[in-house]
Structure 1
Amino acid sequence: MLERFLPTREAITQSRMLRWLGPRLHDPLLWHVNRRSVARGVAMGVFFGLMIPIAQIPAAAIASLLLRGNLLIAAASTLVSNPLTYGPLYYFAYQLGAGVIGRRTPAALTADDVEAPVRAIDSLAQAWAWIGGIGQPLLVGMVIMAVTGALVAYWGTQLVWRLRVAARRRRQRRERSARASAQAIGSA
């Protein structure tokens, strides 16, 4: 289903912007669909999807190049965070980080607290105040969520893959058994 929206392997490998990657981009593990490369791709995509709010796909793609995970799966897995899930994810990350740090969460965020990241660019002192206020619990929560999400995604993908293979083998054995018994009945 996602294949029609994603570029093909040939389009990516022949892109002039990606030519600097050279032979690394032609590594078969980046494109092959097997248990290990897909699990690595899903884990990297979920990690960067939960960890950073911008440039998630390029970050997951670079990590996929380095760790030899499936490139397209890594890019698609970053969509775990999207405009519909940003609010709940970051709220949960903040609550998680505040709980881990031991800081009490404010009863309600003011408009001043919400606009702080934009103003943080204005001066280093304001940036430090934002990190000490909302930013630190948010960053701690995002790191915890990203690492946990990547581990769950990796091992969950491994488990689902193994269960599907086992189910396919059971189905094939049943079909062979049914064919063998039908032949035995037919020849008798």
Structure 2
Amino acid sequence: MPKPETLRNHKHLQMFGKLLHKPNLWALNRRSAPMAFAVGLFVAWIPMPFQMVFAAALAIIFNCNLPIAVALVWVTNPVTMPFMFYAAYLFGAKLLSHPPQEFTFQASWQWIEASLSTIGPPFLLGCLAFAIIFATVGYFVVHNLWKYSILFKWKRKKRQY
């Protein structure tokens, strides 16, 4: 994990100022880790620029581990993004009972504006649905793993005595 000083001095995170001095933002405990996973996985599914800044803001609001929340947005990266967002589009189309449309992606503002009315609603709904699903699952998986690791340590300690 990066040092808190490194992240506090990061040019995009300096806007948060003294808010970055909360101890729980840097602690790794049973409360901060699961929520950080939820925040990071939620933001990873939101199609927006500067996801790391948004994840940092949510980590501050929810008082959870900032490095984990920020690092998890990299689940969406140039390699995984096309697959994840296409799956979100298909899922959103299924939720809206729309037949999926054939389209060819073009990296231009004109294509995005033209596509917002056709593939935009299923895509955005799918992204929101996946954000909620993955955040919830991520929270409970990490929460339960943490809980069971503590129980396992207690049982092992008990056997030693």
- Superposed pair shares fold, TM > 0.5: yes
Residue 63 of structure 1: aligned partner: 58
Partners in 1 of 2:150 and 2:15 — Cα distance?
38
Structure 1 gaps of 5+ residues are 122-126, 177-188
Distance apart, 1:115 and its partner CA:
2.4
Residue 129 of structure 2: aligned partner: 144
Q: What are the Cα deviations for residues 98-150 of structure 1, in whole angstroms up to 9, with x where unaligned?
A: 011111113x43x3xx22863146xxxxx2x4122111111110000001111
SS of 2:119's partner is: helix
- How do residues 12-161 of structure 1 correspond to structure 2 at under 5 angstroms? 12-13=7-8, 18=13, 20-106=15-101, 108-109=102-103, 111=104, 114-115=105-106, 118-120=109-111, 127=113, 129-161=114-146
Q: Using a 3 Å threshold, how does the CA distance of structure 1 residues 133 and 17 change in structure 2: closer, same or farther? A: closer
Structure 2 gaps of 5+ residues are none
- TM-score normalised according to structure 2 size: 0.89
Range that drifts further, 48-57 or 59-68: 48-57
Partners in 1 of 2:107 and 2:118 — Cα distance?
10
Contact 1:65 1:71 in 2 (8 A): yes
Contact 2:12 2:53 in 1 (8 A): no
Same amino acid, percent of matched pairs: 29
Q: Between the two structures, name the one with larger relative contact order (CA 8 Å, sep ≥ 6).
A: 2
1:119 maps to amino acid: Q
Q: Using a 3 Å threshold, how does the CA distance of structure 1 residues 90 and 16 change in structure 2: closer, same or farther? A: closer
Structure with the higher helix share, 1 or 2: 1
- TM-score normalised according to structure 1 size: 0.77
Distance apart, 1:33 and its partner CA:
0.9
Distance apart, 1:52 and its partner CA:
2.4
Q: Using a 3 Å threshold, how does the CA distance of structure 1 residues 14 and 101 change in structure 2: closer, same or farther? A: closer
Equivalent residues, number: 161
1:175 maps to amino acid: Q
Distance apart, 1:85 and its partner CA:
1.3
Matching of residue 168 in structure 1 with residue 153 in structure 2: yes
Partners in 1 of 2:11 and 2:106 — Cα distance?
39
